[in-house]
Amino acid sequence: MNLLITAGRIIDPANGIDQIQDLYINEGKIEKFDDRTTINIDRVIDAQNLIVCPGLIDLQARLREPGEEHKATFDTEIAAAVAGGITTICCPPDTLPPIDTPAMAQMIRQRANEIGLSQVLPIGALTRSLAGEQLTDMAALKNAGCVALGNAEKAINSTVVMRRAMQYASTFDITVFLNPLDPWLKGNGCVHEGEISTRLGLPVIPEAAETVALARELALIEATGAKGHITQLSCGRSVATIAEAKERGLKVTAAVSAHHLHLSEQDIGEFDTRCHVIPPLRSLADRDALRKGLSSGVINAICSDHQPHGFDAKLAPFSESAPGISGLETLLSLTLQLVDENVLTLPKAIAALTSNPAEILGIKAGHLSIGAQGTLCIFAPNKRWKINAQQLKSNGTNTPFDQKSLPGVVCWTIIDGKVAFSIEEDKKINGG
């Protein structure tokens, strides 16, 4: 089985390539291709006026399986991922039960393999049951396929446990995923402490909840020499802190969710529960600082922080509604919107979704070198689509971007040389 993609604009940030050329995939791998007449081509994809880039790598997406299948399953969410051009998904350890044993990690990979589309890479738990007390069998988790270890949204309160966890993880060269949010300062808060919390009288998550925890994690990264990745930032001040840490040579990377780059506390309006997320949407100044951090390279990657919910999870008073946004299918478009708004160049935007996350995870993906996996996303950059939450492939219709028009339509998603998603096929089946 081979595949020729013709006349597309190839953007491969890892190799510094941005040019129109053909791309040939044979037996799942990218191969050099000089003279097309001498080979039998099984399938040709005309990518004229389209962009061809590595398949997207999402550093944080909840698929809800196992444990919360009433919200979503691998089947629904992986279908959503490929429709959004995402070919690699990192699954945080807070599944039910959590990914704190090799068996759980293997099970997750196996479930994804059965479906045979996007790869799902488990992030293992840093502590058993995510309880923040006892370390997990980290070496075994790594061998079972965990690409990093973290404690998801469950804070590790004890600084001793956190220090030991980082030390032990660094023994095996495991990257530690960190969600800096001080549990006491967060309390039962649900929105940024600012104008909107004051007007609506909602319990707050002050900026310090993030900056205090971040300072602690960075100090421990420095003390232990561990490799740390900050899964999500929400405050401008955190960007400055990360920048300073990087300057001092700490091994730290950071990501931001696509929605934090577009929304602010103002979007909550009159208790719009679709904008209830953790960390919370902060001020417009914070949003702009996150954008700057991304363009300057302080923030390395953009993730979806996909959190699908059943339809009634948001039908509650704001503070009692479930936090999270369904984000797989809007990740690429929200990132391209940043290109439209002159925040990022197109290659930088694509790097934030492909080569940079691959580097954070230390995986051989996210580039289009000869010999690499033929895993691609082919999209129409200037074509716009109107988000219709009810028509998303994800089981989660919980998106504040419903009815918004965004740039970037995924035309094909190719995984290991096979078509995993084609918009034409999709239209035939779903009659779009």
Partner 1 sequence: MSPCIQLDRGGNLRHFLTLEGLSRQTLVEIMDAAESFISIGERRIRKVPILRGRTLVNLFFEDSTRTRTTFEIAAKRLSADVINLNSARLSTNKGERILDTIRTLEAMHTDIFVIRDNCSGTSHLIAKHVPSHVHIINAGDGRHAHPTQAMLDMFTIRQHKNDFSRLKVAIVGDILHSRVARSQIHALKILNVPDIRVIGPRTLLPTEINKMGVTSFYELDEGLEDVDIIMMLRLQLERMEGHLIPSAQEYFHCYGLTAARLQRAAPDALIMHPGPINRGVEIASEVADGSRSLILEQVTNGIAVRMSIMAKLITAHTDSKEKKK
Task: Judge whether 305 counts as a catalytic residue.
Answer: yes
Which residue is associated with the tokens 């001040």? 237
Indicate whether 199 belongs to the interface with partner 1 (CB under 8 A).
Answer: yes
Site string for partner 1, 139-178 (x = CB under 8 A): ----------------------------------------
**Contact with partner 1 (CB under 8 A): which of 20, 316, 362, 424?**
316
Indicate whether 198 belongs to the interface with partner 1 (CB under 8 A).
Answer: yes
Indicate whether 194 belongs to the interface with partner 1 (CB under 8 A).
Answer: yes
- Closer residue to partner 1 in complex, CB, 114/312: 312
Q: Peptide bond before 407: cis, by omega within 30 degrees of 0?
A: no
Nearest to 176 by CA among 200, 146, 204, 203: 146
State the nearest-atom distance from the C-beta of 316 to partner 1, in Å.
2
- Which positions from 261 through 290 interact with partner 1, judged by CB under 8 A? 269-272
Indicate whether 395 belongs to the interface with partner 1 (CB under 8 A).
Answer: no
State the nearest-atom distance from the C-beta of 166 to partner 1, in Å.
31
Indicate whether 195 belongs to the interface with partner 1 (CB under 8 A).
Answer: yes
Q: What's the rounded Cα separation, in Å, for the pair 329 and 388?
A: 11
State the nearest-atom distance from the C-beta of 274 to partner 1, in Å.
12
Indicate whether 208 belongs to the interface with partner 1 (CB under 8 A).
Answer: no
Phi then psi for residue 255, to 5 deg, are: -130, 170
- Which positions from 348 through 387 interact with partner 1, judged by CB under 8 A? none
Q: Any idea what DSSP says for residue 135?
A: B
Contacts of 342 (CB under 8 A, 6+ apart): none
- Closer residue to partner 1 in complex, CB, 146/275: 275
Q: Is residue 295 packed enough to be buried (19+ CB in 10 Å), middle (13-18) or exposed (0-12)? A: middle
- Closer residue to partner 1 in complex, CB, 64/109: 64
Q: What CA–CA distances, in Å, run from 86 to 89, 132, 227?
A: 7, 31, 25
Site string for partner 1, 296-315 (x = CB under 8 A): ----------------x--x
Range 67-74 contact pairs with CB under 8 angstroms and sequence separation of 24 or more: 67/95, 67/96, 67/97, 68/95, 68/96, 70/310, 71/308, 71/309, 71/310, 71/313, 71/395, 71/396, 72/308, 72/394, 72/395, 72/396, 73/395, 74/111, 74/112, 74/115, 74/120
Stretch that binds partner 1, among 95-103, 117-125, 192-200, 226-234 (CB under 8 A): 192-200
Q: What's the rounded Cα separation, in Å, for the pair 30 and 33?
A: 9
Stretch that binds partner 1, among 32-40, 293-301, 316-324, 421-429 (CB under 8 A): 316-324
The answer to whether 262 and 287 are in contact (CB under 8 A) is yes
Which is the catalytic residue, given 305, 340, 416, 426? 305
Nearest to 256 by CA among 204, 218, 297, 221: 297
> Quick one: tokens of 71?
């919200």
State the nearest-atom distance from the C-beta of 215 to partner 1, in Å.
21
**Contact with partner 1 (CB under 8 A): which of 25, 59, 202, 376?**
202
State the nearest-atom distance from the C-beta of 314 to partner 1, in Å.
8
- Closer residue to partner 1 in complex, CB, 187/225: 187
Q: What's the rounded Cα separation, in Å, for the pair 142 and 307?
A: 25
**Contact with partner 1 (CB under 8 A): which of 151, 197, 333, 394?**
197
Q: Total number of residues binding partner 1 (CB under 8 A)?
A: 23
State the nearest-atom distance from the C-beta of 302 to partner 1, in Å.
28
- Closer residue to partner 1 in complex, CB, 119/197: 197
> Quick one: tokens of 96?
């039910």
Radius of gyration of the chain from its Cα atoms, rounded to whole angstroms = 21
> Known catalytic residues?
305
Interacting residues toward partner 1 by CB under 8 A: 193-195, 197-204, 269-272, 312, 315-321
